[in-house]
Amino acid sequence: MLDKLPGDVAAQLPTIRDEWLAVGLSTEPANRAAAVAGVMVTYDTASIPRPRFVVWLDSPYAGAVGQAYLAAILRGYSGMGEQVGDQVEVQVRDQVWAQVRDQVWDQVWHQVRAQVVDQVRAQVEAQVREQVRAQVGDQVWAQVWHQVGEKLHARPIGNPAWGQHDSGWLGFYDVFRRCGIPACKRLDGLAAVARNAGWWWPLAGGVVLTDRPYRIARDDQHRLHSADGMALEYRDGWGIYAWHGLRVPAEIITANPDAWSIETIMDCENQEHRRAMIERMGAERWAAKLRAHATPVQRDDAGALYRLDRAGRDPLVFVLVDNATPNPDGSRKQYALRCHHELRPMRRFKDGRVTFGDPQEERAINAVASTFGLRGTEYLLTAQS
Amino acid sequence: MIRQGDVLIVPVAEIPGAVRRETKGPAVVAFGEVTGHGHGWDDGVALLDAPDGTVYVENPMGLPLVHGHVTASAIETLPVVEHAPIPAPRLGEVRLQVEYAEQDVRQVMD
């Protein structure tokens, strides 16, 4: 039973953490030979025949589409091609977990989690992998899946292993490997792929591997962020535009914000995207636009109410509100919420029914209350965050 | 009543004729497609659907409403907290924020 880390391993924890952070955030081209060697070891470890077909693609998106085609080809060719990610990765990981958990005291387990895993997971999994997964999922669904349905595979992106983006949990077991716990060696193949490639799809009879990104740009909170191009870009040109961790359409980053009118911004349906547009425009230019084109109606603790008069149409009325929870630097995110021009309380029900209440006096608190279907006099918060 | 971002929970004395929702994993009352973040509880809270579409929460232990990354099993705290956990009523009606959209009303999207 491991009741404390050996002194040399304990001293190495920051180094091990940084090594796996570097793995997760690497933008080096894949080391194909080393990655494929790692793949073969993973199949051997899982007692699955080695794949005969090895396909390399340049991005997770290409991989997600490519693996579906390779699976279909393998099925037609040999009756193989099923996803074996669960056997190759999940089952082996679970077995190793059970064996290591039995041999390590809680205190040591939690020490390694706190000093190695939490930061790697926060920076690599939460900030990068999940964004890639969401973007690949959205695009494969939008561009491919609605056309081919479930002909290729039941799950839109198959069952990938995350390669370099598995660095959080692989780093965890790397610590115990260095403590001499033999079960951890069963992860050597997965660790080799992670150190040398991006996402990969283990199939029966074949494997699709993908390259690592060409560029990762992040803000000081380690969130994907770039004001001048993709925040995450792969060598085939696929990637993600992001504003402080928020995935945004390309035009929010590539367009000239001077060209955006207040209406352009308020017409953007997603309020987080709208916030990103205002932040990209910058506080001074946004304030100048408000001064030039909108009428400040009223301001109170709930927010600031504005009206934009439009020829031949109802005025555009919106309220600017600050997020109740401050950012780490003490600033607050500001949101712009569109209201009925008479501040009528609005409700939308699940069955699509829409109701409007009676008009209210032009006050910011009435405007905010109206977005929850309430009148200002009914909007009595005891707490908010 | 409490508010966490685009979610308002109004305390109620009783929940009229609503059907308990069968949920696996966390009870999520609002989810942002773009952010992948949601508001809800990991466990210990039931969501109930009324015939008119109103959603209620039954929170017998008075657990705080949390915001974070939604997974199959939990709502994980974000590295940069966007909405702090907040005390929530034991029985409440969920109201999701909406916006005006030229004669229409749409749920606030994030």
* Res. A150 pLDDT band, cuts 50 70 90: very low
Under the banding of pLDDT at 50, 70 and 90, the label for residue A349 is: confident
Residue A17 has pLDDT above 50, yes or no: yes
Q: What band does A230 get if pLDDT is binned at 50, 70 and 90?
A: very high
Phi, psi of A110 (to 5 degrees): -70, -30
* CB < 8 Å from A in window 75-104 of B: 76, 78-87, 95, 97-101, 104
The complex's ipTM works out to 0.94
- DSSP code of A89? I
pLDDT interval class at B38 (50, 70, 90): very high
**pLDDT tier at A149, thresholds 50, 70, 90:** very low
Q: Could you give the CA distance from residue A273 to residue B109 in angstroms, rounded to a whole number?
A: 9
pLDDT over 90 for what percent of chain A? 81
Q: Regarding predicted confidence, which is higher, A360 or A76?
A: A360
Touching A: B residues 15-44, CB under 8 Å? 32, 34-36
Closest CA in chain A for residue B71: A130
pLDDT at A141 over 90: no
Range with the poorest average pLDDT among A45-54, A125-134, A146-155: A146-155
Dist. CA B93–CA A13, nearest whole Å: 48
pLDDT of residue B79: 75
pLDDT value at residue A144: 59
Angle, in degrees to the nearest 10, between helices A271-281 and A283-293: 100
Assess contact for A65 and A153: CB atoms under 8 A.
Answer: no
B6 pLDDT above the threshold of 50: yes
> B34 pLDDT band (50/70/90 cuts)?
confident
Q: Which residue of A has its CA nearest to B67?
A: A385
Which residue in B56, B80, B102 has the most chain A C-beta atoms within 10 A of its own C-beta, making it the best mutation to test that interface? B80
Q: A132 forms bridges with which residues in the sheet? A: none
Can you read off the two tokens belonging to residue B12? 């109620």
Chain A partners of B108 at a C-beta cutoff of 8 Å?
Answer: 271, 337, 371
Question: How would you classify the pairing of strands A295-300 and A246-247?
Answer: unpaired
pLDDT of A151: 46
- Give the model's confidence band at B77: pLDDT under 50 very low, under 70 low, under 90 confident, else very high: confident
Q: Model confidence at B37, in pLDDT bands (50, 70, 90)?
A: confident
Beta bridge partners, A194, equal: none
Q: Would you say residue A212 has pLDDT above 50? A: yes
> What are the two backbone dihedrals, phi and then psi, of residue A51, each rounded to the nearest 5 degrees?
-70, 140
Interface contact flag, B98 A347, Cβ < 8 Å: yes
Cα B78 → chain centroid: 17
What pLDDT score does B35 carry?
Answer: 79
The pLDDT score that the predictor gives to residue A178 is 95
A26, A196 Cβ separation under 8 angstroms: no
- pLDDT value for A156: 67
Cross-strand partners of A354: A348
Q: A266 vs chain B: nearest CA distance in angstroms?
A: 10
Residue B107: predicted pLDDT: 86
Residues from chain B contacting residue A346 (CB–CB below 8 Å):
98-100, 105
- The mean pLDDT value of chain A amounts to 92
pLDDT of residue A329: 86
* CB spacing of A126 vs B87 below 8 angstroms: no
Mean pLDDT, to the nearest integer, of A226-245? 96
Binary contact (B4, A384; C-beta < 8 A): yes
Contact residues on chain B for A372, CB-CB shorter than 8 A: 3, 8, 95, 97-98
User: pLDDT category, A147, cuts 50, 70, 90?
Assistant: low
Q: What is the pLDDT of residue A309?
A: 94
* DSSP state letters, A163-180: GGGGHHHHHHHHHHHHTT
B50 at A interface, C-beta within 8 A: no
- pLDDT tens for residues A100-116? 999 999 999 999 999 99
Hey, of A127, A371, A381, which one would you mutate to test binding to chain B, going by the most B CBs within 10 A of its CB? A371
Task: Kindly identify which residue of chain B lies nearest to residue A322, measuring between CA atoms.
Answer: B5
Count other Cβ atoms within 10 Å, centred on residue B52.
Answer: 12
Per-residue pLDDT band for A152 (boundaries 50, 70, 90) equals very low
Q: How far apart are the first and last CA of chain A?
A: 45
Amino acid at A153: H
In the predicted model, is pLDDT for residue B104 greater than 90?
no
- DSSP sequence for chain B: -EEETTEEEEE-S---S-EE---SSSEEEEE-TTT-EEEEESSS-EEEE-TTS-EEEE-TT-PPBEEEEE-SS-EEPPSS-SS--B---SEEEEEE-EEEETTEEEE-B-
Instruction: Over range A219-241, report the average pLDDT.
Output: 95
- The Cα-based distances of A354 to A35, A269, B106 in angstroms read 55, 18, 9
The pLDDT of A240-249, averaged and rounded, is: 94
**Distance (Å, whole) CA B16 – CA B48:** 10
Q: Cβ(B66)–Cβ(B41) under 8 Å?
A: yes
Pairing of strands A53-57, A206-210: parallel
Question: Is the pLDDT at A153 greater than 50, yes or no?
Answer: no
Question: To the nearest 10°, the Cα dihedral for B9, B14, B17, B20?
Answer: 60
* pLDDT of the residue at A321: 95
Provide the pLDDT confidence category of residue B19 given band limits of 50, 70 and 90: confident
Q: Output the pLDDT for position A79.
A: 86
